[in-house]
Amino acid sequence: MAYFNKKILIISPVHQSLIKELKEKKYSFRYFPNINEKKLILESRDAFLIVLRSGVKLTSKIIKMSQKLKYILRAGTGLDNIDINAAKTKNIKVFNLPNLNSQSVAEFGIGLMIAASRNIAQADSEIRKNLWNKPKFYGFELNNKTLGIIGMGNIGSKIAKIAKAFSMKVIANVKNKTKKRKLKIKLVSLKYLLKNSDFISFNVPLTNLTKNLLNNKNCKLLKPTSVLINLSRGGVVNEDILHNLLKKKKIFAAATDVFKNEGEKSKLFKLKNIIMTPHIGAMTHDAQKLIAKKTLYKINKLLR
Protein backbone atom coordinates (compact mmCIF):
# COMPACT_ATOMS: atom_id res chain seq x y z
CA MET A 1 0.00 0.00 0.00
CA ALA A 2 1.10 3.58 -0.70
CA TYR A 3 1.40 4.60 2.92
CA PHE A 4 4.13 2.05 3.56
CA ASN A 5 6.44 4.15 1.38
CA LYS A 6 5.87 7.35 3.34
CA LYS A 7 8.98 8.03 5.37
CA ILE A 8 8.64 8.25 9.15
CA LEU A 9 11.55 10.03 10.83
CA ILE A 10 11.97 9.41 14.56
CA ILE A 11 14.47 11.83 16.07
CA SER A 12 14.18 11.13 19.81
CA PRO A 13 14.69 8.04 21.97
CA VAL A 14 11.48 5.97 22.09
CA HIS A 15 10.56 2.68 23.73
CA GLN A 16 11.81 -0.32 21.77
CA SER A 17 8.29 -1.72 21.53
CA LEU A 18 7.49 1.06 19.03
CA ILE A 19 10.53 0.28 16.89
CA LYS A 20 9.65 -3.42 16.96
CA GLU A 21 6.08 -2.75 15.82
CA LEU A 22 7.20 -0.46 12.98
CA LYS A 23 9.61 -3.14 11.75
CA GLU A 24 6.94 -5.83 11.90
CA LYS A 25 4.53 -3.65 9.93
CA LYS A 26 7.31 -3.00 7.41
CA TYR A 27 6.87 0.77 7.57
CA SER A 28 9.50 2.97 5.96
CA PHE A 29 11.15 4.65 8.94
CA ARG A 30 14.48 6.02 10.09
CA TYR A 31 15.42 6.10 13.77
CA PHE A 32 18.00 8.60 15.05
CA PRO A 33 17.70 8.90 18.86
CA ASN A 34 20.70 11.28 19.05
CA ILE A 35 20.52 13.23 15.81
CA ASN A 36 22.47 16.43 15.15
CA GLU A 37 21.14 19.43 13.22
CA LYS A 38 23.05 18.74 10.03
CA LYS A 39 21.77 15.16 9.87
CA LEU A 40 18.27 16.29 10.83
CA ILE A 41 18.10 18.78 7.94
CA LEU A 42 19.24 16.08 5.53
CA GLU A 43 16.84 13.40 6.80
CA SER A 44 13.82 15.68 7.15
CA ARG A 45 13.87 16.76 3.51
CA ASP A 46 11.98 13.65 2.34
CA ALA A 47 10.20 12.81 5.59
CA PHE A 48 6.40 12.57 5.52
CA LEU A 49 6.05 12.38 9.30
CA ILE A 50 8.49 13.40 12.05
CA VAL A 51 8.16 11.94 15.55
CA LEU A 52 10.01 13.64 18.41
CA ARG A 53 10.04 14.18 22.13
CA SER A 54 11.91 16.73 24.28
CA GLY A 55 15.64 17.34 23.94
CA VAL A 56 15.58 18.09 20.20
CA LYS A 57 14.20 21.16 18.42
CA LEU A 58 12.35 21.43 15.15
CA THR A 59 13.37 24.95 14.21
CA SER A 60 12.00 27.18 11.47
CA LYS A 61 15.12 26.44 9.42
CA ILE A 62 14.59 22.67 9.56
CA ILE A 63 10.86 22.87 8.83
CA LYS A 64 11.30 25.27 5.90
CA MET A 65 13.89 22.99 4.27
CA SER A 66 11.61 19.94 4.44
CA GLN A 67 10.01 19.10 1.10
CA LYS A 68 7.47 16.34 1.82
CA LEU A 69 6.66 16.90 5.48
CA LYS A 70 2.93 16.75 6.27
CA TYR A 71 2.80 15.86 9.97
CA ILE A 72 4.80 16.42 13.15
CA LEU A 73 3.97 14.22 16.12
CA ARG A 74 5.23 15.14 19.59
CA ALA A 75 5.20 11.89 21.58
CA GLY A 76 4.51 13.76 24.79
CA THR A 77 2.81 16.86 26.16
CA GLY A 78 4.67 20.07 25.30
CA LEU A 79 5.08 21.74 21.92
CA ASP A 80 7.67 24.34 22.94
CA ASN A 81 10.45 22.60 20.97
CA ILE A 82 8.55 22.91 17.67
CA ASP A 83 8.29 26.13 15.64
CA ILE A 84 4.51 26.08 15.30
CA ASN A 85 4.37 29.20 13.11
CA ALA A 86 6.81 27.71 10.58
CA ALA A 87 4.72 24.54 10.47
CA LYS A 88 1.51 26.52 9.88
CA THR A 89 3.17 28.47 7.07
CA LYS A 90 3.89 25.19 5.26
CA ASN A 91 0.49 23.72 6.14
CA ILE A 92 2.14 21.02 8.29
CA LYS A 93 -0.15 19.68 10.98
CA VAL A 94 1.27 19.30 14.50
CA PHE A 95 -0.05 16.81 17.05
CA ASN A 96 0.94 15.81 20.57
CA LEU A 97 0.06 13.03 23.01
CA PRO A 98 -0.67 14.72 26.35
CA ASN A 99 -1.26 13.22 29.79
CA LEU A 100 0.13 9.73 29.11
CA ASN A 101 3.03 10.15 31.55
CA SER A 102 1.32 12.22 34.24
CA GLN A 103 1.37 9.52 36.92
CA SER A 104 5.08 8.88 36.42
CA VAL A 105 5.91 12.59 36.55
CA ALA A 106 3.72 13.16 39.61
CA GLU A 107 5.35 10.31 41.56
CA PHE A 108 8.76 11.60 40.50
CA GLY A 109 7.84 15.07 41.75
CA ILE A 110 6.98 13.72 45.19
CA GLY A 111 10.26 11.82 45.15
CA LEU A 112 12.15 15.04 44.42
CA MET A 113 10.37 16.78 47.29
CA ILE A 114 11.49 14.12 49.74
CA ALA A 115 15.01 13.92 48.31
CA ALA A 116 15.51 17.70 48.40
CA SER A 117 13.98 18.27 51.83
CA ARG A 118 16.02 15.41 53.38
CA ASN A 119 19.40 16.05 51.63
CA ILE A 120 19.36 12.51 50.24
CA ALA A 121 21.59 13.11 47.21
CA GLN A 122 24.24 15.02 49.16
CA ALA A 123 24.23 12.48 52.01
CA ASP A 124 24.65 9.65 49.51
CA SER A 125 27.57 11.45 47.86
CA GLU A 126 29.36 12.00 51.17
CA ILE A 127 28.91 8.53 52.60
CA ARG A 128 30.52 7.10 49.48
CA LYS A 129 33.60 9.05 50.62
CA ASN A 130 33.21 7.55 54.12
CA LEU A 131 32.04 10.90 55.51
CA TRP A 132 29.46 10.43 58.29
CA ASN A 133 28.11 13.92 58.86
CA LYS A 134 24.71 13.21 60.43
CA PRO A 135 24.24 16.64 62.10
CA LYS A 136 24.82 18.31 58.72
CA PHE A 137 21.75 16.75 57.14
CA TYR A 138 18.80 18.05 59.11
CA GLY A 139 15.75 18.32 56.88
CA PHE A 140 11.98 18.69 56.90
CA GLU A 141 8.97 16.35 56.91
CA LEU A 142 6.20 16.61 54.36
CA ASN A 143 3.59 15.97 57.06
CA ASN A 144 1.42 19.06 57.78
CA LYS A 145 3.47 21.24 55.42
CA THR A 146 1.83 23.44 52.79
CA LEU A 147 2.37 22.44 49.18
CA GLY A 148 1.72 25.13 46.60
CA ILE A 149 1.04 23.76 43.12
CA ILE A 150 1.36 26.13 40.18
CA GLY A 151 -0.70 24.65 37.36
CA MET A 152 -3.34 22.02 38.06
CA GLY A 153 -3.40 19.93 34.91
CA ASN A 154 -3.13 16.14 35.04
CA ILE A 155 0.31 16.20 36.67
CA GLY A 156 -0.55 18.88 39.22
CA SER A 157 -3.81 17.12 40.13
CA LYS A 158 -2.03 13.81 40.67
CA ILE A 159 0.67 15.48 42.79
CA ALA A 160 -2.09 16.98 44.94
CA LYS A 161 -3.70 13.57 45.43
CA ILE A 162 -0.41 11.95 46.51
CA ALA A 163 0.49 14.93 48.71
CA LYS A 164 -2.75 14.58 50.63
CA ALA A 165 -1.76 11.02 51.50
CA PHE A 166 1.27 12.57 53.22
CA SER A 167 -1.11 14.83 55.18
CA MET A 168 0.09 17.90 53.33
CA LYS A 169 -2.05 21.03 53.03
CA VAL A 170 -2.48 21.73 49.32
CA ILE A 171 -3.10 25.12 47.74
CA ALA A 172 -2.95 25.94 44.04
CA ASN A 173 -2.64 28.75 41.54
CA VAL A 174 -4.77 28.15 38.45
CA LYS A 175 -5.43 30.41 35.48
CA ASN A 176 -8.14 28.30 33.83
CA LYS A 177 -11.44 29.47 35.32
CA THR A 178 -13.37 26.36 34.31
CA LYS A 179 -10.98 24.20 36.32
CA LYS A 180 -11.48 26.39 39.39
CA ARG A 181 -15.03 25.12 39.73
CA LYS A 182 -13.96 21.48 39.50
CA LEU A 183 -11.06 21.45 41.96
CA LYS A 184 -11.62 20.79 45.66
CA ILE A 185 -8.42 22.60 46.59
CA LYS A 186 -7.96 26.09 47.96
CA LEU A 187 -7.15 28.34 45.02
CA VAL A 188 -4.95 31.35 45.68
CA SER A 189 -3.01 34.07 43.91
CA LEU A 190 0.57 33.39 42.85
CA LYS A 191 1.76 35.95 45.39
CA TYR A 192 -0.08 34.21 48.23
CA LEU A 193 1.19 30.80 47.13
CA LEU A 194 4.84 31.84 47.02
CA LYS A 195 4.60 33.54 50.39
CA ASN A 196 2.80 30.75 52.27
CA SER A 197 4.05 27.47 50.77
CA ASP A 198 6.71 25.23 52.29
CA PHE A 199 7.00 23.27 49.04
CA ILE A 200 6.29 24.72 45.60
CA SER A 201 5.80 22.62 42.48
CA PHE A 202 5.84 24.22 39.01
CA ASN A 203 3.65 22.26 36.57
CA VAL A 204 2.80 24.64 33.74
CA PRO A 205 3.69 24.63 30.03
CA LEU A 206 6.25 27.14 28.77
CA THR A 207 4.41 30.05 27.14
CA ASN A 208 4.88 33.81 26.94
CA LEU A 209 2.77 34.06 30.10
CA THR A 210 4.72 31.48 32.11
CA LYS A 211 8.26 32.35 30.99
CA ASN A 212 10.27 33.50 34.04
CA LEU A 213 7.22 32.96 36.22
CA LEU A 214 9.56 33.12 39.21
CA ASN A 215 11.20 36.52 38.86
CA ASN A 216 13.33 39.04 40.76
CA LYS A 217 10.31 40.61 42.39
CA ASN A 218 8.19 37.65 43.55
CA CYS A 219 11.14 35.45 44.59
CA LYS A 220 11.50 37.74 47.63
CA LEU A 221 8.22 36.32 48.94
CA LEU A 222 9.66 32.84 49.44
CA LYS A 223 10.28 31.38 52.88
CA PRO A 224 13.93 30.69 53.81
CA THR A 225 12.82 27.09 54.50
CA SER A 226 10.96 26.60 51.22
CA VAL A 227 11.75 23.88 48.67
CA LEU A 228 11.16 24.52 44.95
CA ILE A 229 10.42 21.72 42.47
CA ASN A 230 10.40 22.38 38.72
CA LEU A 231 8.70 19.70 36.60
CA SER A 232 7.56 22.04 33.82
CA ARG A 233 10.20 23.58 31.55
CA GLY A 234 13.52 25.26 32.25
CA GLY A 235 12.36 28.69 31.16
CA VAL A 236 9.50 28.79 33.67
CA VAL A 237 11.91 29.25 36.58
CA ASN A 238 14.64 31.77 35.79
CA GLU A 239 17.87 29.84 36.38
CA ASP A 240 19.89 32.93 37.32
CA ILE A 241 17.36 33.78 40.03
CA LEU A 242 17.24 30.16 41.23
CA HIS A 243 21.04 30.08 41.39
CA ASN A 244 21.09 33.27 43.45
CA LEU A 245 18.41 31.98 45.85
CA LEU A 246 20.30 28.75 46.47
CA LYS A 247 23.80 30.22 46.65
CA LYS A 248 22.75 32.87 49.18
CA LYS A 249 20.58 30.31 51.02
CA LYS A 250 17.45 32.39 50.59
CA ILE A 251 15.57 29.06 50.29
CA PHE A 252 16.33 25.66 51.80
CA ALA A 253 16.65 23.61 48.62
CA ALA A 254 15.41 22.99 45.09
CA ALA A 255 15.05 20.18 42.59
CA THR A 256 14.69 20.44 38.85
CA ASP A 257 14.15 17.89 36.11
CA VAL A 258 14.34 20.52 33.37
CA PHE A 259 16.76 23.16 32.14
CA LYS A 260 16.55 26.10 29.77
CA ASN A 261 19.29 24.60 27.60
CA GLU A 262 19.18 20.85 28.06
CA GLY A 263 22.35 18.99 27.19
CA GLU A 264 24.55 21.94 28.20
CA LYS A 265 26.44 22.77 31.40
CA SER A 266 24.71 24.96 33.94
CA LYS A 267 26.11 26.97 36.82
CA LEU A 268 23.53 25.20 38.98
CA PHE A 269 25.76 22.10 38.74
CA LYS A 270 28.17 23.61 41.26
CA LEU A 271 25.59 23.98 44.03
CA LYS A 272 24.95 21.33 46.66
CA ASN A 273 21.47 22.34 47.78
CA ILE A 274 19.80 21.39 44.52
CA ILE A 275 18.93 18.02 43.03
CA MET A 276 19.14 17.88 39.23
CA THR A 277 17.97 15.18 36.84
CA PRO A 278 18.12 15.04 33.01
CA HIS A 279 14.39 15.35 32.22
CA ILE A 280 13.54 11.81 33.40
CA GLY A 281 10.19 12.45 35.09
CA ALA A 282 8.36 10.42 32.45
CA MET A 283 11.04 7.74 32.13
CA THR A 284 9.28 4.70 33.53
CA HIS A 285 8.72 1.49 31.59
CA ASP A 286 5.01 1.88 32.31
CA ALA A 287 4.68 5.37 30.82
CA GLN A 288 6.99 4.74 27.86
CA LYS A 289 5.16 1.58 26.81
CA LEU A 290 1.88 3.49 26.90
CA ILE A 291 3.38 6.38 24.89
CA ALA A 292 4.79 3.89 22.35
CA LYS A 293 1.36 2.26 21.99
CA LYS A 294 -0.43 5.58 21.48
CA THR A 295 2.30 6.83 19.11
CA LEU A 296 1.89 3.75 16.92
CA TYR A 297 -1.88 4.24 16.87
CA LYS A 298 -1.44 7.87 15.81
CA ILE A 299 1.14 6.96 13.15
CA ASN A 300 -1.24 4.39 11.66
CA LYS A 301 -4.03 6.95 11.61
CA LEU A 302 -1.94 9.73 10.03
CA LEU A 303 -0.35 7.56 7.36
CA ARG A 304 -3.65 6.09 6.23
Residue 204, pLDDT > 90, answer: yes
Q: Is residue 2 over pLDDT 90?
A: no
How many beta carbons lie within 10 A of that of residue 174, not counting itself?
20
Is 285 assigned a catalytic role?
A: no
Mean pLDDT within 142-167:
96
Q: Taking CA 294 as the corner, what is the angle to CA 99 and CA 18, rounded to the nearest 5 degrees? A: 125
233 is catalytic: yes
Q: pLDDT band for 4, please (50, 70, 90 cuts).
A: low
pLDDT digits (tens, 9 = 90+) for 111-146: 999 999 999 999 999 999 999 999 999 999 999 999
Catalytic residue among 15, 74, 233, 239: 233
Residues comprising the chain, all counted: 304
Q: Distance between CA 110 and CA 31 in Å, rounded?
A: 33
One of 141, 262, 264, 285 is an active-site residue; which one? 262
pLDDT score for 115: 98
pLDDT grade for 3, boundaries at 50, 70 and 90: low
Query: What per-residue confidence (pLDDT) applies to 236?
Result: 95
Angle at 38 between CA 32 and CA 42, to 5 degrees: 75
- Whether the per-residue pLDDT at 48 is higher than 90: the answer is yes
The mean pLDDT value of the chain amounts to 94
Quick check: 62 pLDDT over 80? yes
Instruction: Dump pLDDT digits (tens) for 249-297.
Output: 999 999 999 999 988 999 999 999 999 999 999 999 999 999 999 999 9
Burial of 269 (0-12, 13-18, 19+ CB in 10 A): exposed
Query: Looking at 15, 53, 74, 279, which residue is catalytic?
Result: 279
Q: Which residues on adjacent β-strands are paired with residue 9? A: 30, 50
pLDDT in tens, 74-99: 998 878 899 999 999 999 999 999 98
Q: 181 falls in which pLDDT band (50, 70, 90)?
A: low
Structural domains of the chain sorted by starting position, each given as residue range(s) with its CATH number in brackets? 2-100+284-303 (3.40.50.720), 102-276 (3.40.50.720)
Q: What is the pTM of this model?
A: 0.87
pLDDT of residue 55: 81
